[in-house]
Amino acid sequence: MKNLNKFLVAALLFFCLLFKSSYAQNITTNEITEAKKAIEASNAIYFDAFKKNDPSLFISRYAEDCLIMAPDSPAQKGRKGASDFFRFAYDKTGLRDGSFLTIDVYEIGAGCVAEEGFWKSFDKNHKLFDSGKYLVLWKKTKNGWKMFRDSFNSDGKQY
């Protein structure tokens, strides 16, 4: 009888762990699916901010405590940093349009995913003037998925 009780306890424990593991995986899968949709939607309107010269549209892509880590410059922090980055990109580099190609999105922790991909930047004549790769950490906020850490660099090609 003792062996039967041990077996039943072990079997019950096994099924509980199996159920918990399966349930946790579904939550993760759903969260990543939700994040991918939000990232795709955000990326689809990101460059509209430059087409319209609308910094508020750009800033709204980012979390309040974001860091934009562009090459060869200090990190830009928070909403003010996002605003300063927008003004620099628009006024100094002439950015007016662009595109993102997301390669992968993967979970890195609860409420946080990483996006990796490639980008292209175009001027007012829609001439390609820069391209490169990026890694963005997105976090789930009360206002949806927002860019938390944005790091990118140029491939250094001359177009």
Domain boundaries, the chain: 2-154
pTM of the predicted model over 0.85: no
Cβ–Cβ < 8 Å for 57, 48 = yes
DSSP state of 116: E
d(CA 25, CA 139): 19
Query: Residues 42-63: pLDDT tens digits?
Result: 999 999 999 999 999 999 999 9
Query: Residues 58-97: pLDDT tens digits?
Result: 999 999 999 999 999 999 999 999 999 999 999 999 999 9
Cβ–Cβ < 8 Å for 7, 15 = no
Domain 2-154 has CATH 3.40.50.720: no
